[in-house]
A and B are shown apart, each in its own frame.
Chain A
């Protein structure tokens, strides 16, 4: 076997593939061949590196050189300069947004320095379509160890001690969930992996499945052994074609090696998985709705109890865990509970993956220990707010969560602290907002999503959210009155108290938390009829400053609705009733005579 001196890792995640990373792999390989370096350098397609902002990424091992925004035309230069002659291609290196200096390797990038990768341990490191690379990194060793050395009770006990909590949103202790499912007797039980990732902006589950599918298969098998299930089902949204493909390849390889199937690793335990495709309905991320969808029924939730652990898929005990939760499991068994529970805060152990998005310099996927502060995430890993603007808020928990503001910047992030701050962990979307974002519009955006995704089964969620949305629409279009704020709060409480499932019980959170944290902004909308962030179009007021106007009539010709009138060479006037706030006059005026409020 050739001993490669260099490995060229190319991101093959959905984001980088969209910018032609497959072609980059081809070009790198052909250039290596041209120069006769086949025995020196190996090109590997890996999962996501997380640094999606600057993709496609090519990382050179062993010196950890981190090339960003690589184009297919750059490949020849990388091979000729770096691989052949050891000279780094500096124009492709990452540039620190603060110092404007090139950073040579990933170990010195702020983005990676504070991260701790457990769930993402193999993403951007191994070839997800090569089971041998997973095995070389102790893959399936946790399953092997459990099957040959532990009883299911002992194995569950370890998971309980580790303190792992569900990463899908609720934060329920995983070990306890397994224990309940294991105690319910039945002729058939099921392990379900919830890969119906639906929060706007969150893509950690997709990245894990694309970058390290074997870890999910291994963890599901471990879960199967612990709860006494021989069948596993991955419920994955059909919009994730690459994740589906990688998962299928991984399952086939695992079967060929006998890591799925009958009598795994010489034990009495048999287990196999199959895939079910979801149509991408947000509500199907809720356990009971997910199970109904798998049964071929409408994806609607039902009242718990009975919990899926008693009566789940086809009426049999079913354990549902989210992708990221499963990804942590093999690592816990390999490295031990002491190691795992040493990471994080008192009640939230381990790490959490966040999808960092919005007005931030380093958009991407990050994994950080629980207890890290928002400040560290935004300013050290995220590289600060884009274009030097002022930080305003960060939205966590997706449509179920809320906004955190400047006063929360130093709060350690964990399940309980986020709830105390009026938001929640959710599945880990983190959207950063700056001074230009209007918080009423943000709340409206999330409500729009909820209205769209509500399954319609219960009235509070179906009708209530629609009313909330209408009210927010009214406020942002400048027709709100002060009483509306109270109305919003009351209706929110009713929806929270009376909705059937988690979707409706949490959907008013974005409204409540923005009212709580940005009351003045709501007030400005309904009393003064202005939008302090200047983002609500309907609340903008265009006027002409008479002193500056030369009467050139450029604006008259630009206005699509004939709202501007006036004599030639005399100051003009805008009729606010006719004006549609399109801004055309503002752009046309050469004398800065148009004033926007």
Chain B
């Protein structure tokens, strides 16, 4: 191991290392972040949800977007897999269907960063037990 010779070195080192810890730091305050949930049921995985998830994780990490990507179970939109749910703080969650890597990047750039609405939104007509209050 190389010695750390100055405060400057230490700070640089921290910047290189914090990358790996980001996901834990973010989980400390999930409420203030954009939460992206990728449906990872069997049908989702079969239609490429894992690739979409990888793309999303890399994208938000690269652009330092305050978002966290989690996995969810089947949302029931098997016809439209892969599906992702995006929850921007203060807004209602939005579900996108037929998401591939290109679409995922578009969602991040346009919907999450700029707040523009996109095609491919699935109107949600259900309530979850978490929503009842």
Contact = CB atoms under 8 A, between A and B. Distances in A.
Q: In the complex, which of the residues B14, B19, B24, B25 has the most CB atoms of chain A within 10 Å of its own CB atom?
A: B24
B71 interface: yes
Contacts of A257: 1-4
B10 A137 contact: no
Contacts of A6: 23, 71
B70 A62 contact: yes
Q: In the complex, which of the residues B2, B40, B53 has the most CB atoms of chain A within 10 Å of its own CB atom?
A: B40
A569 B122 CA distance: 81
A133 B20 CA distance: 8
A33 interface: no
B89 interface: no
Nearest to A5: B57
A148 B20 contact: no
Interface in B53-79: 53-54, 57-58, 61, 68-73
A558 to B, nearest CB: 53
A326 interface: no
Contacts of A140: 4, 10
Given A62-B68, A107-B30, A140-B10, A86 B4 contact: no
Contacts of A524: none
Q: Interface extent on B, as a size class? A: 35 or more
A565 B29 CA distance: 70
Contact of B30 (A9, A62, A133, A141): A62
Interface string B11-41: 1011001111101111100110000011111
Contacts of A133: 17, 20-21
By secondary structure, the A interface counts as mixed
B10 A5 contact: no
B30 A145 contact: no
A138 B69 CA distance: 24
A147 B2 CA distance: 20
A85 interface: yes
B52 to A, nearest CB: 12
Contacts of B17: 132-133, 135-136
B73 A87 contact: yes
B54 to A, nearest CB: 8
Contact of B24 (A7, A86, A132, A253): A7
A399 B30 CA distance: 42
B1 A1 contact: no
Nearest to A4: B23
Interface stretch (A175-183, A258-266, A317-325, A441-449): A258-266
Interface in A80-128: 82-87, 105, 107, 125-126
Contacts of B26: 62
B10 A256 contact: no
A144 B10 CA distance: 8
A3 interface: yes
Contacts, number: 113
A85 B11 contact: no
Interface in A46-83: 61-64, 82-83
Contact of B7 (A83, A86, A132, A265): A265
Nearest to A117: B28
By secondary structure, the B interface counts as helix
Contacts of A145: 7
B13 A135 contact: yes
A345 to B, nearest CB: 26
Q: Interface extent on A, as a size class? A: 35 or more
A545 B25 CA distance: 66
B23 A259 contact: no
B91 interface: no
Contacts of A83: 71
A125 B24 contact: yes
Nearest to A44: B24
B21 A136 contact: yes
A221 to B, nearest CB: 13
A125 B25 CA distance: 9
B45 interface: yes
Given A5-B57, A266-B5, A86 B41 contact: yes
Nearest to B54: A5
Nearest to A104: B130
B50 to A, nearest CB: 8
A5 B68 CA distance: 9
A37 to B, nearest CB: 10
A84 B11 contact: no
A15 to B, nearest CB: 22
Contacts of B24: 7, 9, 61-62, 125
Contacts of B14: 135-136, 138, 141
B8 to A, nearest CB: 9
A265 B10 contact: yes
Q: In the complex, which of the residues A138, A141, A258 has the most CB atoms of chain B within 10 Å of its own CB atom?
A: A258
B17 to A, nearest CB: 4
B27 A62 contact: yes
Q: In the complex, which of the residues B7, B13, B41 has the most CB atoms of chain A within 10 Å of its own CB atom?
A: B7
A147 B24 CA distance: 29
16 contacts: A5-B57, A7-B24, A61-B23, A62-B23, A62-B24, A107-B30, A107-B31, A126-B21, A135-B17, A137-B18, A144-B10, A147-B7, A257-B1, A257-B4, A265-B5, A266-B6
Given A63-B27, A137-B18, A140-B4, 8 more contacts: A3-B57, A5-B57, A61-B27, A64-B27, A86-B38, A86-B41, A137-B25, A256-B3
Interface of A: 1, 3-7, 9, 61-64, 82-87, 105, 107, 125-126, 132-133, 135-138, 140-141, 144-145, 147-148, 253, 256-259, 265-266
Instruction: Please name the 10 residue pairs, one residue from A and one from B, whose CB atoms are nearest each other, closest first.
Output: A86-B71, A258-B3, A144-B7, A86-B40, A136-B17, A87-B73, A62-B27, A266-B6, A256-B1, A136-B21
